Amino acid sequence: MDRINLREKYQQFDEHWTPKIIAELNGQYVKLAKVKGEMIWHSHAEEDELFVVQQGTLFMDFRDRTVVIGPGEILVVPKGVEHRPRTNGEEVWLMLIEPKSTKHTGEIQHELTVQNQEWI
């Protein structure tokens, strides 16, 4: 049981859209990600996702609207809801909390899909 310094963890990687696992609790992973640009439309049939914006502004597109999430704000995307995270060109730092079974882009396979998410 050691403390985790988030800033130090973010400094360990530069890739976008490649979540890194930093902790595990109660069947959930805590992940950090740097994102920039646009992810693909996808959903997770069985898992909710919690997005915590640490730095920058995230735009979460849904088929009927867009939700803007700023630093210090969170958004829960319920299971089964199609969504597309994106930025306005700036790098955004996220923390994600989601079940260990959550696949990166749900059942969609794309060049952005990360199959094996790494621990840092």
CATH at 71:
2.60.120.10
80 assigned to some structural domain = yes
Closest CA to 23 of 115, 117, 92: 117
Task: Walk across the sheet containing 84-86 and list its strands.
Answer: 65-69, 58-62, 84-86
113 assigned to some structural domain = no
pLDDT tens figures, 86-102? 999 999 999 999 888 77
User: What pTM was estimated for this model as a whole?
Assistant: 0.87
Residue 91 belongs to domain spanning = 6-97
pLDDT tens figures, 24-80? 999 999 999 999 999 989 888 888 999 999 999 999 999 999 999 999 999 999 999
Report pLDDT for 115: 64
Cα 76 from chain centre = 11
Q: Find the largest Cα–Cα distance for the chain.
A: 43
